[in-house]
Structure 1
Amino acid sequence: MSKSLSITATKRDGLGKGPARRLRSANLIPVVTYGHGAAATSMTIKAEDSEQVLHHSGIVELVINGSDKKTTVLKTFQRHPISNKILHIDFQEVRTDEVVFTLVPLVSVGEPAGTRQGGQLEQVMMEIEVKSLPMNIPDVIKADVSALNLDEALHVRNLVFPEGVSTDVAADQVVFNVRAPKVQEVEETAAAEGEEAAAPAADTKKSDAE
């Protein structure tokens, strides 16, 4: 199960795009915590800590101004569309005895049988929303793909979740599949189009001959 990640946060007063840009220039990321009916709290964390947060699936303990603490989970985040830098993070405050919903990465285990038949493994879902108590949130959900043959798929219903962890995602949602290489598909499509284009020309010659 995932361990708690503890990072330092500092309360902030200045809100809006201008102050946020100045914070990011100072290597700080604006964050907000909310939950349990309390007013949202605006803070900052270090940019390097924000990367740790995005690679952590469990509880994030925010130590605010060196004393106050909030038990949270990552809820949403924003990245710059060009630089891909983190712009903002939202945390949801939680209690250790309440069920929470959070996203957990999906990873494949094993070599699909279909790859030995010329296929390629494709990952359709990169992460999945799970529900569990905060301390039970797994770091990743592993999917054994070794039994997948060519043109077969592994679905959400085939995933094995740790005890106390489940999901509301549709059971028939595809997670991984094994498909023929895309290059081969393109070549087959081009060949089919070539045959269709050649057909009218043959008809014309026949008509001229008549």
Structure 2
Amino acid sequence: MKSITINGSKRESVGKKATKALRNAGQVPCVLYGGDQPVHFSAAELAFSKLVYTPNAHTVVIALGDTSYNAVLQDIQFHPVTENILHIDFYQLFDDKEIAMDIPVVLTGNSVGVRAGGVLRRNRRKLRIKALPTNLPDNIVVDISKLKIGNKVYVSELENDGFKFLHTDNTVVCQIKQSRVSVDIEDDEDEEGAEGAEGAAAEGGAEGAATTEA
């Protein structure tokens, strides 16, 4: 999985006044959990843009002077009006310890059902998995090329040796739903088939009549 580096500074004071002063200076107060003790630090709000404002999943390298920590974003709080970042919690990664994380789902291919007029419905844009840090994927790829109208893709069909899904096997990832257009297409095909059969029967009857008269 791709990683983003956040350069920050440790916080000496974690009181309300110090936190407010940090925010006024364009800094975001953060806490890193998962180690022996929580690590309090801050970083410029702009430093989090590639981590927060993206549909992709990333791990994070938190660089605090001479010390660096591997981590993942655990929780984030935004101001209800300005939508500025108020606070971020991170969780420290260890090579031998599994971590739970939401991974984006990427659909590939042109569905047979969609070409027939069906509608693609994405039930899950992200899936939560559990894996060692080295096995965390950038995304989960789902090929929908062979999906017909009414078909669904379940989590059980996406099993991977490198990680496990934290969802039930019958969780639907995506499906092709029938639409009005697809119904009309099917009705038109049925009508054309019926008209063809009637035409053939009529021609056969006419030919039989001509033969009798002769």
Cα deviation, 1:14-47, whole Å, max 9, x if unaligned, reads 54666545434433222111114x2222211222
SS of corresponding position for 2:8 = strand
Structure 2 unmatched ranges of 5 or more: 183-214
SS of corresponding position for 1:114 = helix
Structure 1 residue 86 corresponds to structure 2 residue 85: yes
Contact 2:6 2:48 in 1 (8 A): no
User: 1 CA distance for matches of 2:12 and 2:178?
Assistant: 55
Structure 1 residue 149 corresponds to structure 2 residue 148: yes
User: 2 CA distance for matches of 1:76 and 1:182?
Assistant: 42
Partner of 1:125: 124
Change in 2 beyond 3 A, CA 1:123/1:67: same
Find the structure with the greater CA-based Rg.
2
User: 2 CA distance for matches of 1:164 and 1:51?
Assistant: 29
User: 2 CA distance for matches of 1:181 and 1:104?
Assistant: 29
Instruction: Read off the aligned partner of 2:148 and give its amino acid letter.
Output: N
Instruction: Read off the aligned partner of 2:127 and give its amino acid letter.
Output: I
Task: Tell me which of 162, 165, 174 is aligned to 2:163.
Answer: 165
**TM-score using structure 2 length:** 0.72
Contact 2:117 2:181 in 1 (8 A): no
SS of corresponding position for 2:29 = strand
Instruction: Read off the aligned partner of 2:95 and give its amino acid letter.
Output: T
Structure 1 stretch displaced more, 50-59 or 69-78: 50-59
Pairwise CA distance, 1:129: 1.3
Contact 1:74 1:102 in 2 (8 A): no
SS of corresponding position for 1:39 = coil
Pairwise CA distance, 1:176: 0.8
Contact 2:123 2:174 in 1 (8 A): yes
**TM-score using structure 1 length:** 0.73
SS of corresponding position for 1:176 = strand
Contact 1:76 1:90 in 2 (8 A): yes
Change in 2 beyond 3 A, CA 1:180/1:21: farther
CA RMSD of aligned residues (A): 2.8
Partner of 1:198: none
Pairwise CA distance, 1:182: 8.5
Contact 1:120 1:179 in 2 (8 A): yes
Contact 2:129 2:163 in 1 (8 A): yes
Identity %: 29
Instruction: Read off the aligned partner of 1:152 and give its amino acid letter.
Output: N
User: 1 CA distance for matches of 2:152 and 2:94?
Assistant: 37
Cα deviation, 1:136-160, whole Å, max 9, x if unaligned, reads 2111111111222223221111225
